Amino acid sequence: MSEPDKKPFEGRVRLRPLTMDDFDALVELQLKCFPGMKPWAREQIASQLAIFPEGQVVIEVDGRIVGSSSSLIVDSSTHSDWHDWKASTDNGFIRNHDPQGDTLYGMEIMVDPDFRGLKLSRRLYNARKQIARDRNLLGIMIGGRIPGYGAHADEMTASEYVERVINKVLVDPVLTPQLSNGFVLKGLIPNYFPADAESRGYATYLEWTNYEHVPAHRRQLLRPSSPVRLSAVQYQMRRIGGFDEFAKQCEFFVDVASDYRADFLLFPELFTTQLLSTIRADRPGQSARKLAEFTPQYLELFSGLAIKYHLNIVGGSLFELDGETLYNTAYFFGRDGAVNKQRKLHITPPERRWWGVQPGERLGTIETDRGRIAILVGHDAQFPELGRMAVDQGAKILFVPINTDERHDYLRVRYCAQARCIENPVYLVLAGCIGNLPEVEHADIHYAQSAIMAPSDFYFSRDGIAAECQPNIETVIFAEVDLEMLRRQRRKGAGLTWEDRRRDLYQIHYQAGGEERTT
């Protein structure tokens, strides 16, 4: 079996700046999202791009524009026209944009109805939030449509409708996602956009607060925080009837992590061996190669889940065939559609003896929307050199999917993983399998206590443990960490384990990206 082609799963979703070449597609999208409303004029889009191009973005899926966001910056202390869309946006020309202002004003956001349910609005709102963070703004304010109100206008007031949406009695296609993306309702605006028949001219006034805002007098003292929410699955192995059942279990955990707004979710090493319960083979090596035949389905499943749930997924690992060579390969699925992989570099004696697994050739790092990461598959975490190499290439977070059968085996990997956090220093996510697979040779019992680890210093969690679950209980754990704390620890930590290396006594020479490196 040849190595699977990743190209069909890559690059499906792309968030990028709006250009004038997008005008016709943008108008087509606007007419589809807001039927009956006057679309943008070419002069308005040209003005927006000339004045504040950073605030105008679109989302593509497979090269097709399916969403957009428009915004400008205002001074909240002098801005009193938020109740009037035309005045707030200069009728869409944004000539009132104030580069020295303190608040981002959301002018319009839209998602193609055929692509709703993929959390594309979350991506657009996150893009706005990132502008607010990058420019150290107080927050975002928006006047939002309530297009669902039209169907209820004869039976309730706009205020009653909004209250029912807040209480989740009703769902509004605009207000509901705004509330779920952290916006707080501040008021109801009549005659905000009179041409909006679906909303009966009403709009909601909402705000999002940038808690990372640093007042001017403190900017030289503090850098903004860089939060990342991590999660890991402690996955129970059980007999299943086929790939569809496996996919259903995986989607459940992805859905949970997405609901908790995680940036990353880690599955365990070789949790795909659960599918061995559906395979009949005479010898373990044959079973492993038959299991590798699920690779295309696995790639399609997780690349789709990453996009649908707007979540970066480290999909544990699986057996993968490249020609006749069998590897233990971990895949990363970005929420932007990117797919990367890392083969296990150090093979355990049982893997080699029972399944014929061969080692990979290089350690790489992966650039994500929340910083650079690296994956150390199971046994790889027990080799200090790999942690050094990953951090030397810029990794801030190490993901360690493991598969251990009993407590001694687990603790050996756990203690080594904790050491990698302290040595470098980095955050580390550890996820393992639990449960039993009767009649599945060499994958029958499992032990784990999954954890999210941090360096052991004043800047981090007590005991260097950001989150940890109980042993042998199926669950998902979460922790929010701050990448800025790693920078501070490296400069002023109690133990400078990275800076104090004696390179005059020892060095690591390795290859990365086709070049020789030394650390």
pLDDT tens per residue, range 2-27: 555 555 555 678 899 999 999 999 99
CB 388 within 8 A of CB 363: no
The CATH number assigned to the domain with range 229-518 reads 3.60.110.10
Strongest mean pLDDT among 136-150, 204-218, 403-417: 403-417
| CA distances, 331 to each of 92, 224, 261, 339, 450 (Å) | 44, 31, 21, 7, 19
Give the pLDDT mean for 428-454.
90
- The confidence score (pLDDT) of residue 144 equals 83
Nearest to 420 by CA among 454, 393, 448: 454
- The confidence score (pLDDT) of residue 498 equals 79
pLDDT(272) > 50: yes
- The confidence score (pLDDT) of residue 259 equals 94
- The confidence score (pLDDT) of residue 220 equals 47
CB 269 within 8 A of CB 316: yes
Question: Is the fold of 7-218 the same as that of 229-518?
Answer: no
Any idea which of 94-108, 122-136, 140-154, 494-508 has the lowest mean pLDDT?
494-508
- The confidence score (pLDDT) of residue 502 equals 87
| pLDDT tens string 238-262 | 988 899 999 999 999 999 999 999 9
User: Taking the CA atoms of the chain, what radius of gyration do you get in angstroms?
Assistant: 25
DSSP-based three-state secondary structure for 305: helix
pLDDT(361) > 70: yes
Nearest to 252 by CA among 264, 240, 235: 235
| pLDDT tens string 296-309 | 999 999 999 999 99
What is the band of 278 on the pLDDT scale with cuts at 50, 70, 90? Answer: confident
| pLDDT tens string 393-409 | 999 999 999 999 999 99
pLDDT(81) > 60: no
What is the band of 463 on the pLDDT scale with cuts at 50, 70, 90? Answer: confident
Any idea which of 67-71, 286-290, 364-368 has the lowest mean pLDDT?
286-290
| pLDDT tens string 200-229 | 988 888 899 998 888 765 554 456 678 899
Nearest to 466 by CA among 403, 486, 477: 477
Nearest to 266 by CA among 491, 416, 37, 469: 469
Count CB neighbours of 372 within 10 A: 16
Does the domain made of 7-218 have the CATH classification 3.30.460.10? no
Which two structure tokens, joined as six digits, stand for 166?
């807040």
CB 264 within 8 A of CB 466: no
Q: Domain limits of the chain?
A: 7-218, 229-518
pLDDT(274) > 50: yes
DSSP-based three-state secondary structure for 397: strand
Residue 451 exposed, middle or buried by CB count within 10 Å (0-12, 13-18, 19+)? buried
- For the chain, the average pLDDT equals 89
- The confidence score (pLDDT) of residue 495 equals 82
Report the distance separating Cα 488 and Cα 37, nearest Å: 51
DSSP-based three-state secondary structure for 105: strand
Report the distance separating Cα 138 and Cα 132, nearest Å: 7
pLDDT(286) > 50: yes
Count CB neighbours of 464 within 10 A: 17
Strands (DSSP E) contained in 99-172 are 103-111, 139-145
